[in-house]
Amino acid sequence: MPIIKKNDKNQIFCKCNHCGNIGYLDIRGFFKEEYYEEVDGQKAPLDVMSYYLLECPVCLKPVLVSGWYLFYSNTDEELSLDYPVEGFIMRHTPDTIKEQYLNSRECYKRNDYGLCLASLRILLEKIANNNHARGKTLERKIEDLARTNVIPLTIKNASTIVRKLGNMGAHGNGDEIMRSDIDMLFEFVEIIISYIYELPQSVSSLASRYR
């Protein structure tokens, strides 16, 4: 995440997580709330929270940044991105899987749903190959992942749905799929990635601290 900062042109430098643009975004709205504390029976200023509504110059979607600073301090206002937050985080996922996931997201952002579905199918196949699944077809590889307990039955069924709709995209029928259904496919894929790559590492890391 780049350092978030203001300039003197009513703009804030930050990342738009809608489209990935990084640069100065115009401030379209502003709200400030001041907080006080009781000192000798009187209100004394304590700190200030500010909220900036920005507009991305690339995708024209809204971005919300909050700021905080203490009265009577020499420190600059601390800015943080509140909306939209960073998407699905993959700390332990292999780079090839991560790159394919991001490629799928880029297709989705361009509203190229057919290519997005085909990309998700490729992602699923890369996950299967990365886990040494056996079989000449993706269907057989998914069955092998379930047979060897790499994935449970529910995730196997979710993988099958991704494969089938991915086939529709590869054959030029992606426009028949609703956007809400593609959103659900991304949820399935994120669960698959989390189960295979993220969860085992997180469990191992936490368990090692409490042996």
Say yes or no: 54 and 143 in one domain: no
Say yes or no: 55 and 105 in one domain: no
- 6 within 8 A of 12, measured Cβ to Cβ: yes
Reported in sequence order, the residue ranges of the chain that DSSP labels E, i.e. its strands, are 5-6, 11-15, 22-39, 42-55, 62-70, 78-83
Final residue of a domain: which of 35, 50, 83?
Answer: 83
Residue 143 lies in a domain: yes
Containing structural domain, residue 60: 5-83
Residue 89 lies in a domain: no
Final residue of a domain: which of 83, 110, 136?
Answer: 83
DSSP annotation string for 30-69: EEEEEEEEEETTEEEEEEEEEEEEEE-TTT--EEEEEEEE
Residue 74 lies in a domain: yes
Q: Rounded CA gap, 50 and 68, in Å? A: 6
- DSSP annotation of 178: -
Q: What is the pLDDT of residues 62-120, one digit of tens each?
A: 999 999 988 777 778 899 998 887 777 888 999 999 999 989 988 888 888 889 999 99
Say yes or no: 99 and 52 in one domain: no
Amino acid 205 reads: S
Q: What is the pLDDT of residues 131-172, one digit of tens each?
A: 999 999 999 999 999 999 999 999 999 999 999 888 887 777
78 strand-pairing partners: 68
Say yes or no: 188 and 154 in one domain: yes
Residue 88 lies in a domain: no
Q: Rounded CA gap, 27 and 52, in Å? A: 6
Residue 90 lies in a domain: no
